[in-house]
Structure 1
């Protein structure tokens, strides 16, 4: 048989342990009662940009040099500009295709245009103006032979530099 004081002592130990644990819980809550807050911003700068993504050559169909007929051709530039970014494209070429045979001095003049009716010229002075939509934009380049094709037979070429300014 257990002695009542032993039972009472055991009971008292439990009460003391519970009281200590309960007191430490109160102590912890008292330290967590203060708060502080601050603010910060999430930031991003989006720079305007324009990049050429592709260029398709303007290639005239072969002509018989005796026909002297005007010929049309079309190429394409692709450009991607940020949304609502105004931009201009300049085209700088010689305006004349040279025979790829370096011994030849023959040239064939041509003009580039902004429109399919070939009325609005496109060069380093007459620029194409557009506004970016944030996506790839296909820009047709229209061309027309502007002179006599009664020249030496051969392949003719001119390099045009397209520059986008935004």
Structure 2
């Protein structure tokens, strides 16, 4: 059979039917945080050490959100008072701060008080986290660490 023989022509009439094509998009957000490393300090903590990192938030278009940062896992950390703890038998701590803008609003995890809000655009929105180790009494030489949980509320 030829291609033209497969394409028959009908002259008796026609009928139609419509169907909907649908998709439901629900509000959603995804968050990803990069590490914040204050580096290696030689000597004492006599002056502030300032560094920053990025938290990337991707929310559906027009979805309002708030990003909160936990107190962290360092010994004595609570609310927006944060510490990095020493390792092993070292019970020393290093106090640090996390800010929404360099040296200004402390970033916490209480919605409506110290979280950072925004509106989703459907693409990644990078948020800068400004970290600071203020001048303080220097503990024993060691590696100090705290794990912060970044949460997006939507």
TM range (shorter): 0.7 to 0.9
- Among 34, 41, 61, the alignment partner of 2:39 is 61
For 1:70 and 1:164, locate their aligned partners in 2 and report how far apart those are by CA, in whole Å.
29
Q: Greater helix percent: which structure? A: 1
For 2:127 and 2:118, locate their aligned partners in 1 and report how far apart those are by CA, in whole Å.
10
Gaps in structure 1 of 5+ consecutive residues: 1-27
Gaps in structure 2 of 5+ consecutive residues: 1-9
User: Which piece of structure 1 moves more, 156-165 or 65-74?
Assistant: 65-74
Q: Which whole-Å deviations, capped at 9, do the CAs of 1:13-47 have from their partners, x for residues lacking one?
A: xxxxxxxxxxxxxxx96xx34x5444332111011
For 2:15 and 2:48, locate their aligned partners in 1 and report how far apart those are by CA, in whole Å.
79
Runs (4 or more) in structure 1 with deviation over 6 Å come to none
Task: Return the TM-score normalized by structure 2.
Answer: 0.77
Q: Which whole-Å deviations, capped at 9, do the CAs of 1:44-65 have from their partners, x for residues lacking one?
A: 101111112x421111132234
Who wins on radius of gyration, i.e. which is larger?
A: 1
Partner of 2:85: 98
- Among 88, 101, 109, the alignment partner of 1:124 is 109
CA-based RMSD: 1.9
Q: Which whole-Å deviations, capped at 9, do the CAs of 1:110-132 have from their partners, x for residues lacking one?
A: 1101113x201101121010111
* Cα shift at 1:104: 0.7
Larger RCO, structure (CA 8 Å, separation 6 or more): 2
Task: Return the TM-score normalized by structure 1.
Answer: 0.72
